[in-house]
A and B are shown apart, each in its own frame.
Chain A
Amino acid sequence: MARSSSKDAQDLFRALWSAYAATPTNLKIIDLYVIFAVFTAAIQVVYMALVGSFPFNSFLSGVLSCVGTAVLAVCLRIQVNKENKEFKDLAPERAFADFVLCNLVLHLVIMNFLG
């Protein structure tokens, strides 16, 4: 039983890996970007847990800027993914322009909030 389940798990990871290897490079770049952003957010949270959250607005803006960046990048990834049938008529350039605009707004707000 245990062996079969571990074998299943191995199969699963192999399948996952092979499926992921097939994704286009630009999507992989976006994925890296997302992982980086989430990782940065995690570092900040750990730092907050260790040191304390005194300038709370700085902590908040730091974490939320990372989370926001990650979320927006995920949105971009959803939109430029060719396998997504819902966004057939949305040009990737348009999607990128929206992404830049949204990021601009996000970081303007964060600069304001950083105090």
Chain B
Amino acid sequence: MAASDAQNGVSSIRHAFGNVLAFFILLLIGVLAFSIRLFSVIKYESVIHEFDPYFNYRVTQFLTKNGIYDFWNWFDDRTWYPLGRVIGGTVYPGLTLTAGTLWWILNSLNIPLSVETVCVFTAPIFSAFASWATYLLTKEVKGAGAGLTAAVLLAMVPSYISRSVAGSYDNEAVAIFALIFTFYLYIKTLNTGSLFYATLNSIAYFYMVCSWGGYTFIINLIPMHVLLCIVTGRYSSRLYIAYAPLVVLGTLLASLVPVVGFNAVMTSEHFASFLVFIIIHVVALVYYIKGVLSPKMFKVAVALVVSVGLMLCYGGSTYSIGSIKPNKGMEWKKFKSVRSFLTSLLCDSTYASKYIPIIASVSEHQPPTWPSYFMDINVLAFLVPAGIIVRLMLVLAPAACILSGIALSQAFDVFTRSIKLQLPSLSDHSQVDAGVASPESVVPNDSVKMDKSEDTSKERTSKKSKKKEKEPVEKPLSKSQIKKRLLVLPLETSVIAIILLVLLGAFYVVHSVWAAAEAYSAPSIVLTSHSHDGLHVFDDFREAYAWLSHNTEVDDKVASWWDYGYQTTAMANRTVIVDNNTWNNTHIATVGTAMSSPEKAAWEIFHSLDVKYVLVVFGGLVGYPSDDINKFLWMVRIGGGVFPHIKEPDYLRDGQYRIDSMGTPTMLNCLMYKLSYYRFVETDGKAFDRVRRTEIGKKYFKLTHFEEVFTTHHWMVRIYKLKPPKNRIRGKTKKSKSKTSSKPASKRKGLKRNPF
């Protein structure tokens, strides 16, 4: 008795020690997750990255300046000119509100951080939260050891790092945390069956809906799980409590978010959850009646319900065959839309690219190559049994982390246990001694093993009942020892396996740190390149935007391809025609058409849009590959999709896209070519394009309707001004032209040019 008391004391101390240790490990994981994402700040500077984050940054600035009410009602007239954009109703507000709240709290604590700093560091902070949420989730599923392993893996998984380095201020930064946390709360509700957690779950779901369009993953995955549980006969009332309130509350909360609104009940993404909601009610009723009635009576009830149901179905179908024929088309359409949704979501991204070029032109929607799959998940790919869309990789990453966390910790468990049992020092002690010394470590392990297939509720009960188990410890112990003997692996094998696992882990860490430092921390607004004569920094984008904000009127409109829309509005504070929120295909097609038209037609299009400046990105001088010439075919395709006089074959020579002397005349005369290569020959005398690795086709030409006003240091951004419309005198000159020689005409032309 006394011995068991002492044992209890030892085990509780050990538990307390374990908890403290776990807490510190978690703290360190948080620090790791935060600091591994700071490479971008250290290597470059504390700036917002890429394109979308600039928009989010601008919205956050507006929020902190004008308050939440103005934010909801914000109609932005500085973009999509002349249409404008209702920002409050078309943006997922979660990220902005989070960062705004952070900034507000810090400022009211008299910590004067700028909005930009808060925005830059939001993503690392939330990735720390995400790894803690992973710990909670995995702990709920499999136990603390697996939880810690999964948290470490998630803190470093490259695919998540790529979207959440410091400065990458995008929706995914907070959404992954929300995703994992929602799943954690769902599992927690499932295990406890408490309405309290169900409420928290729907609130977490609300946060997820606020922050990312990817919330549809949750609202489709959870019903799938529920359906699977029902089909495999694992329905329990806890499942009902976890699911039914989530659907009702979640749907209501989701429709509170303006960008979702009635879509929460109207679109096909959400129908699965409603269907399962109905099914679970039927199943719950059936289970209830089954519990109430005797088995024989239940059979009768089933027979009755089935026969009545069949009769109703028969009647209904005979009735509907007569009357609802025209509806069938609609049904088919519905089915088609659901199918298209599924295909576009799950595997076949070619569907979208076939019909809507603009979707295909976004690289995120393209299927990842196997190298990128390996790059993003790395070692974990071996531990997870796995064409997905790139964006799905991000959602896949937490799942991969959790699965491989479980796998790793289980493997370590098995190997260390077999080593422990076989080490001579331990086994030399008497069997009884070993039996007394290690029940704590054995009993939980075995219980973990056993309920591999069961829900974790069993584990909780086993934890609770552990004290009870200790008194009759002799019998199960001998049994478990036999079992242990069976599970034991040879000593050498397990040692080697552990070494290999550690090596694998080390390889993963090295790869992740390398990926974080080299591959994913480039802000893409500042570029660097290493060459034999040292490090080069290309800061042309900010140079150009600064020029725009200093040298143009506040209300001037700047046209560029949509990639640079967000940056132009955020950094130069000028009105743009199209931007990265590609909501209006026609408008983008207009700009694409202008870029692919000859100069005069382009000038007319731009002039009709009130454009003052045209901005093109050109990488030919320094070899920056993602410039406008390389994107040009997309402009042609998107433009041609709406305006059929733009034909892609006109720009291709024998199906090849080329800008050298073999290029087609349409290509060499279009606006994009001219604006990119204007005066390019003056740089090296040969006009050698370093991206396309060729000399350009047309070297010497003049611009008639545009005028170069600014070109950045490395020629990466070139800004042109539209010349003002010609005076009406032109009609007169034409008349006089027939009479007089060309001299006065050219003189007049010169006069016209002068005033500006």
Contacts and interface: CB of A to CB of B under 8 A. Distances in A.
A106 B289 contact: no
B255 interface: yes
Contacts, number: 104
Given A68-B245, A68-B248, A74-B244, A109 B253 contact: yes
Contacts of B292: 16, 19-20
A79 B193 contact: yes
Interface stretch (B148-156, B293-301, B313-321, B601-609): B293-301
Nearest to B307: A5
Interface residues of A, number: 41
B305 to A, nearest CB: 10
Contact of B245 (A56, A72, A79, A112): A72
Contacts of A78: 193, 237, 240-241
- Contact count band on B: 35 or more
B265 A60 contact: yes
Nearest to A68: B248
Nearest to B247: A71
Nearest to B236: A86
A47 B732 CA distance: 73
A112 B256 contact: yes
A19 B291 CA distance: 10
Contact of A113 (B196, B248, B256): B256
Interface string A1-30: 000010011011001100110000000000
B304 interface: yes
Given A8-B304, A78-B240, A84-B237, A106 B193 contact: no
A19 B292 CA distance: 6
Interface string A69-102: 0011011101100011011001000110111011
A54 to B, nearest CB: 13
Contact of B199 (A56, A71, A101): A101
Contact of A72 (B195, B253, B256): B195
B195 A12 contact: no
B198 interface: yes
B75 interface: no
A71 B244 contact: yes
Nearest to B246: A71
Contacts of B256: 109, 112-113
Contacts of B300: 8-9, 11-12
B297 A15 contact: yes
Interface string B538-563: 00000000000000000000000000
Contacts of A68: 245, 248-249, 252
Nearest to B464: A89
Contacts of A98: 194-196, 199
Given A74-B244, A102-B198, A86 B203 contact: no
B734 interface: no
B301 A12 contact: yes
A110 interface: yes
A90 B194 contact: yes
A99 B255 CA distance: 23
A95 B203 CA distance: 19
8 contacts: A9-B300, A64-B248, A68-B249, A72-B245, A75-B195, A75-B245, A102-B195, A102-B196
